[in-house]
Amino acid sequence: MNKKVTLLAIAVALGVLVIGYVYLGGLNKVDITVESVSDYNLVGIHFQGRPKSDSIENAFFLAREYVQNNRLDGVVALVHYNDTTLAKNQIKLFIGVKVNSTTSDIPEGYERLTISASQTVRATIEAHNVVMPSPETIEGRMRAKGEELNMRLSDFTIEQYISTNELLIDMPVYKPG
């Protein structure tokens, strides 16, 4: 009898896990496309340090608060630099908001960052971050798309957090100069 109950409990648990995975978007495919874009106009803060730093989370939530409270018109964005000169276990980021229009009123402590671009390889992900593919997998697929189309891509990504279940990751086509 105990064996049947245990098997039933395992089957129910697996069913719940599968349903949760599907509900969170685990089966949604990641679309990799080439898009025409205008320059990225961002406001935020630069960060360089350990990936587990509370400063990253604090900066992200502050940017999200500015968007939610309509202090800044745009979407929360994070620029992740693939800087090979950094020490091991260090990352370099720009955390803030990709603004929809030019604004002269930026929050104290924020600075502007403009990234020139006219074309980008974009990954569109519609899934909760718990079930998203790893950043390395997504970036690898983006680079493969760029190589397939003979495009040289920049050494950074721009993540745009559209909603809790939608993320755009752009890797602009490299423009020398």
Q: What is the pLDDT of residue 73?
A: 92
The pLDDT value recorded for residue 176 is 63
80-90 average pLDDT score: 87
pTM of the model: 0.80
pLDDT, tens digit, 9 for 90 and up, residues 97-116: 999 877 668 899 999 999 99
Residue pair 128/24 in contact (Cβ under 8 Å)? The answer is yes
Residue 23: its pLDDT value, please?
A: 43
Return the number of other C-beta atoms located less than 10 Å from residue 71's C-beta.
14
pLDDT at residue 172 in the model: 96
The residues spanned by each domain of the chain are: 31-172
27-60: b (≥16 Cβ within 10 Å) or e: ebebebeeeeeeebbbbbbebeeeeeeeebeebb
Domain 31-172, CATH 3.50.50.60 — does that match?
A: no
| Angle formed at CA 146 by CA 143 and CA 148, multiple of 5 degrees | 110
Confidence of residue 25 (pLDDT cuts 50, 70, 90): very low
Collapsing DSSP to helix, strand or coil, 66 comes out as helix
Residue 39 has pLDDT above 70, yes or no: yes
The count of other CB atoms within 10 Å of the CB of residue 83 is: 12
